[in-house]
Structure 1
Amino acid sequence: MRKPDTVRAKLIVMALATTFAALVTMSASMLIYDLTSFQQNWVDDLTTQAEIVATVSVPAVSFNDPAAARQNLALLRVRPQIEAGAIYGTNGVMFASYAQSMLDPPVFPPRPGPAGHAIEGGHMIVFHPIVENGERLGTVYLTARYRLLDRLASYAIILGAVMLASLLLAAMVASRLRLGITNPLEAVTDVARAVMQQRDFSLRVRERASGEIGTLVDAFNNMLAEVERRAHALQEANRTLEHEMTVRQGAERALLLADRRKDEFLATLAHELRNPLAPIRTGLDIMRLNRNDPAATERARAVMERQLKQMVRLVDDLLDVSRINTGKLTIRHDPVELQAVVANALEIARPFIDAQGHTIEVALPREPVHVLGDATRLAQVLSNLLNNAAKYTDRGGHLALAAAVEGDSQLHIRVTDNGIGIAPPMLGEIFDMFVQADSSLERTSAGLGVGLSLARRLVELHGGSIEAHSGGPGQGSEFVVTLPVLQTEPQAAARETDQPAQGTPYRILLADDNLDFVNAIGALLRTLGHTVHICHDGAQALAAAEAFAPDFAFLDIGLPHLNGYDLARALRALPGLQRTMLVAVTGWGQQKDRELAFDAGFEAHLVKPVSVEQILDILAAGRHGMRAGAPVAGA
């Protein structure tokens, strides 16, 4: 059931109201006109009758013949509307009279009134003079029933019938018009209501129309289409914003986690660096207090050397991670034998494994297995995994390293332990920087949390992968390294060597502003029979170099007065030093630092702390094995 305030009802009411107003206006106008005409006709008619009576009554009045006058008045019977009539003489006395009905005799005025007409009590009265030759002889009086109300009632009935018929016709016309007007408007209203209730802007008005209504329908549909497009764009923007907020919140959580791990890392780094410094300092005290006890001095030296190697390993790991993150680390891609890599890794890790009281079981394929990669870096990967296993296994634990080839294309190297294990949530994070499976203070060897991250990145640089598995806390862990196998066995390449005989003395120039380091290295080289000249700044080294004519020059980069790069260029410009081998000795170990050194004329690049073995290797190799950019120990 439709509500009475619908467009259809309003349109019908409007049509009927308009028609009714027009009909009322027209009827009122016609009624006024008809009543005016009706009255005027009555006045004209009654005046004419009075004039006729006055004309025919002139002789009767002139000759004083009342009977003739009454006969003249009797002629009014043919007009039943005239109720009475009378003739008055010149003296104003009634001369003759007439009444339409004797049963209801009228009341005549005692004297005639002024000429004209008047309406009194539903009667029209006319006074008309009787004139002959310009002389007034008397007055004719007529009165008739003036049926204005009857006329008005009959006219109202006619107008009411006409108005009713007109309104019915208007209602029928309005009902027909709704097909082209109200139906489209109601369709627009229904769709608008549905859109507000359902929030569905894909709805459209299906009703078609022409003219302005059609334009309204099309405009409404176009508006819905535009709103739908904007709503869709807004939804997409909201989804994008929600995604960005999610990403941003994730990034914020990651930053907070990274910041927390950074703080933990710095604290751990300080702890790990202090650990070896303490026995080194103790060793120095032992050597100072027991100068005459060679055995105590040797034990102290061994302790200090082990702790120094530990510090160097920590620093090297950090430098390697930095090189990988900046894309500066390059690896060799040479055929490498698995057995040699494992042997090198065990050599590096075994002292720590033995110190923890662990046993280790190694199982390798009987046949030689080769991979394409960097032997040093692969050994670093396995040694990191072995050190990690030893670190997180309680003293006296059991470790295992096993390798097997699967499918003739994949080499799987498994490092397992029966240590503290890894919680399932940590398996996906264990290879992230600064993450440790157990960071509690009770662990005796916490580490920096970079070993596994470095191992994963090195394996990925070799085209392989690394995974961690564990049954949970207390159930040990297993790390699986997967590498592609080299299908063809490499041929052993003959290597030509043109090295000077061992023990050949050289003239060596040392330039470094670290007095303890350079004096200690100089004293050691002198004990080996070499001639050594020591300088503590760049200008001093340049002044002494031409006269000293060294075979090797080990130069620090950060020298006072003249830095190592400028010193190397100046030395290369001296005619007598063309065959001198320049070696950079610096704490800067990035790839760009190596490139700057080679561009300046250095032929080798050593990163501090430098061991005596590295220097002796360079001296043993001589100038033929060390050209610019060639790899050296510790470079």
Structure 2
Amino acid sequence: MMPRPFKDSISNKLMLVVMATTFITLLVYGSIMLVFDLRGYHEELINDVRTQASIVADVSAPALEFNDPQTASQHLGLLRTRPVIIHAALLTPSGERFAEYISARSTREEEPIAWPSRNNRVAGYVIEGNRLEVWQPLVKDGQILGSVYISARYELSNRLVNYVLILVGVMAASLGFALFIATWLRGALTGPIFAVTDIARQVMQTRDFALRAEKHSEDEIGVLVDAFNDMLREIERRAKALEASNHSLEHEMSERQAAERALRIADRRKDEFLATLAHELRNPLAPLANGLRILRLPGQMSPEQQTALVVMERQLKQMVRLVDDLLDVSRITTGKLTITKSLVDLQSIMQSAIETSGLFIEELGHDLEVDMPARPICIDADPVRLAQVFSNLLNNAAKYTPRGGKIRFSARVENGQAIIDVVDNGIGIEAEMLAEIFGMFIQVDQSLERDQAGLGVGLALSKRLVELHGGNLLVGSAGHSLGSTFTVVVDVEHENADAGDPRASSPKTRVEPCRVLLVDDNVDFVTSLKTLLTHSGHEVRLAHSGADALAMAGEYVPDIAFLDIGMPGMNGYDLARALRQLPELAHCTLVAVTGWGQEKDRQLSKEAGFDHHLLKPASLEDIKALIEFGSVAT
């Protein structure tokens, strides 16, 4: 905390600066010199004593070798020229004293003589208090003849005290001279500064930037006054410019906020557009799928027609997959991708993925090798989403492997984790692409000649789905044309060694025909679906609006009703709520069949009273499963 006199007066501050600068400069310089001197003294003393020990060792080696203590004592006596040495001795290999030297000063002052307690077979030194002890072995032809021991005064503390006393004296004299200079400067410099201070105070109080300080000299203080006056002129100019800039900034801020709002609205509309696009694309795909199923009904068909039918079915599946990927883009970017976990068998999920991708792999002429553990593996997972991950990986392996390649789909359990590998011998992945392969819209093969294409979201979606399961998706490749390996790692709940046949507990099919109500404004879809269900023996009625369906339901009393959501007039949610109010439909199963497939859409259908939510184009197998079993097989 600065004392008050130094806070109020610039002259006192100037004096404080001069005195403090002088003091700190002297203190820092003195400290540096002190450290440098003490360090030099330390190193010089050690080197000097060790040199003396080496010299004594060299000249005394013959005396030790020929057992001549007198000559050795004479050699040690030469150390009297070094007053710092107080004691020296030649020792035999067993540590016994062979010859000795004690300085006259040490004898007069009756200094105690210490002997080394360390191993004298290795050269070294030690500092204990104010003593420096050095020992040097005598070696000749690899044989130790003895050693030299020297004890010297280590007067570091005395040297430190003397240096500090000198430093204190120098600092006292310097500070006295600095005080004289500071007193003179205080009067010569602060007068004009006080005049500038008064003008500055008036400017702050009156906000009158036209005031100017009076100039009294042409020295640096005069330059300061000119600079102060120029500053006032500049402040006056900038104050006007700042006021204009503030108005411009306010306008820009309002425009920026409007742009940010527009971006948020555009982002929300983009998500809405993707969802709407997926819905609108699914609507025409649904009757197309039903039409192809009708063509599959028993009848005569030429080979060319059969081939065309296969092509159309394959391309329709590709369209459905692209639509699903398009919707998943929005779910990934908004963080709305979710899963519903349950305890399921890993092998059944893998088998589902094989059924989904098997035909595609077969069409490309690949050899698929499957290796599953014999024991059932129970995991906590969303079976549909995890099967989607495996199917994506199998499809990728098939797409990026030249025709007639090999794909291996295997699973194993290690350290409580299930490890599922999809290995191919395809085009491989370059090292620089491995870190980016799971990015959105990344394509491994970007050439125009590639056989298969997609949106580039499959791997990004797969990795996110695996992470939602608490696992990880890894990739490895030795390089171009050397194939690739994708590895899914998820936790295992338990392995069941005695699991029975899962088909034993599967529900029995209801063989009696059901009363089915189909409600959709897409006439092509419900008409084609009616043909398929009627062919399966069920009684089916159609309605193309919510009002017609509500009027028909009370009389018809369907066992199950498939309702579209986006209908004009009364939408599917309102129709479901109205049907739930009819007592005669208390046991009717309501199924939403719609192109709206986001999580919020499923939640809305559940709140409206729907039992199930199917996404267009719904598979005939799922529709039949709901009619005959009351649930969809997973």
8 Å CA contact 2:377–2:495 kept in 1: the answer is no
Instruction: State which of 432, 441, 444 in structure 2 corresponds to 1:434.
Output: 441
Q: Is 2:392 the counterpart of 1:384? A: yes
Aligned length: 365
Query: Counterpart in 1 of 2:347?
Result: 339
What's the offset of the Cα at 1:597? Answer: 1.1
Higher deviation after alignment, 458-467 or 393-402: 393-402
Q: Distance in 2 between matches of 1:496 and 1:418?
A: 39
**1:468 counterpart (456, 475, 487):** 475
Looking at structure 1, the residues matched to 412 and 503 of structure 2 have their Cα atoms a distance apart, in angstroms, of: 31
Look up the equivalent residue of 2:393 and give its one-letter code: L
From the superposition, tell whether residues 295 and 437 of structure 1 become closer, same or farther in structure 2 (CA, over 3 Å): closer
**Unaligned ranges ≥5, structure 1:** 1-6, 8-174, 188-254, 627-631
Instruction: Indicate the SS of the match to 1:405.
Output: strand
Does the 8 Å CA contact 1:565/1:600 hold for their aligned counterparts?
yes
After superposition, where does 1:303-318 map in structure 2 within 5 Å? 303-318=311-326
- Do the aligned partners of 1:433 and 1:453 also contact (CA within 8 Å) in 2? yes
Secondary structure of the corresponding residue to residue 463 of structure 1: coil
Residues 337-386 of structure 1: CA deviation (Å, up to 9, x unaligned): 33333322222222222222222333344544443323333222222112
Asked if residue 413 in structure 1 is aligned to residue 420 in structure 2, the reply is yes
Does residue 1:181 correspond to 2:180, yes or no? Answer: yes
Distance 2:616 2:360 in 1: 23
Question: In the alignment, which residue of structure 2 is the partner of 1:541?
Answer: 549
Cα distance change of structure 1 residues 531 and 185 upon mapping to structure 2, 3 Å threshold: farther
Structure 1 distance, partners of 2:566, 2:629, is 26
Answer yes or no: is 1:566 the counterpart of 2:574: yes
Change (3 A) 1:569 1:298: same
Equivalent position amino acid for 1:432 in 2: G
Question: Deviation digits for residues 64-113 of structure 1, max 9, x if unmatched?
Answer: xxxxxxxxxxxxxxxxxxxxxxxxxxxxxxxxxxxxxxxxxxxxxxxxxx
Superposed CA RMSD: 3.9
Map of 1:300 onto structure 2: 308
How far did residue 486 of structure 1 move?
2.7
CA distance in 1, matches of 2:422, 2:451: 21
Q: Is structure 2 residue 535 aligned with structure 1 residue 527?
A: yes
**Does structure 2 conserve the Cα–Cα contact (< 8 Å) formed by 1:552 and 1:583?**
yes
Once residues 365 and 519 of structure 1 are traced to their aligned partners in structure 2, the CA distance between those partners, rounded to angstroms, is 45
Alpha-carbon shift at residue 605 of structure 1 (Å): 1.1
Matched AA of 1:181: F
| Partner residue, 1:600 | 608
Match of 1:399 in 2: 407
Change (3 A) 1:487 1:581: closer
**Which amino acid is the alignment partner of residue 384 of structure 1?**
N
Contact 1:439 1:446 in 2 (8 A): no
Deviation at 1:298, TM superposition (A): 4.0
1:362 to 346, 370, 378: 370
Match of 2:591 in 1: 583
Highest RCO, 1 vs 2 (Cα 8 Å, sep ≥ 6): 2
Task: Give matches, 1:58-457, under 5 Å.
Answer: 178-182=177-181, 293=301, 295-406=303-414, 408-457=415-464
Distance, in Å, in 1 between the alignment partners of 2:473 and 2:175 is 83
Is the 2:564–2:592 contact (alpha carbons within 8 Å) kept by the matching residues of 1?
yes
Write the distance in 2 (CA, Å) between the matches of 1:356 and 1:386. 12
- How many angstroms apart in 1 are the aligned matches of 2:613 and 2:438? 31
Structure 1: how far apart are the matches of 2:613 and 2:482?
45
Letter of the aligned partner of 2:444 in structure 1?
A: A
For residue 519 of structure 1, report the CA deviation from its aligned partner.
Answer: 0.8
Shift in Å at residue 403 of structure 1? 3.1
Amino acid at match of 2:557: A
Q: Which runs of 5+ in 2 are unaligned?
A: 1-13, 15-173, 187-262
Task: Report if aligned partners of 1:422, 1:471 keep a CA contact under 8 Å in 2.
Answer: yes
Rounded Cα–Cα distance in structure 2 between residues aligned with 1:487 and 1:509: 43
- Amino acid across the alignment from 1:483: V
Structure-2 separation of matches of 1:338 and 1:310: 26
Q: 1: distance between equivalents of 2:558 and 2:336?
A: 33
Q: Distance in 2 between matches of 1:504 and 1:470?
A: 55
Would the aligned equivalents of 2:376 and 2:495 in 1 still touch at CA under 8 Å? no
- SS of the residue aligned with 2:379? strand
In structure 2, C-alpha distance between the alignment counterparts of 1:402 and 1:380, rounded to whole Å: 16
Question: Is residue 483 of structure 1 aligned with residue 471 of structure 2?
Answer: no
- For the 8 Å contact 1:405–1:411, the answer to whether it is kept is yes
Contact 2:593 2:613 in 1 (8 A): yes
Of 542, 555, 559, the residue aligned with 1:551 is 559
Counterpart in the other structure of 1:51: none
Give the letter for the 1:608 counterpart: K
Which secondary structure state, in structure 2, belongs to the residue aligned with residue 517 of structure 1? helix
Specify whether residues 451 and 572 from structure 1 end up closer, same or farther in structure 2 by C-alpha distance, changes over 3 A only. same
Residue in structure 2 matching 1:620, options 580, 605, 628:
628
Q: What is the distance in 1 between the residues matched to 2:401 and 2:181?
A: 87
Q: What's the offset of the Cα at 1:443?
A: 0.3
Question: Structure 1: how far apart are the matches of 2:557 and 2:409?
Answer: 52
Mapped contact 1:606–1:633 kept (Cα < 8 A): no
- Output the CA distance in 1 between the equivalents of 2:175 and 2:570: 107
User: SS in structure 1 opposite 2:179?
Assistant: coil
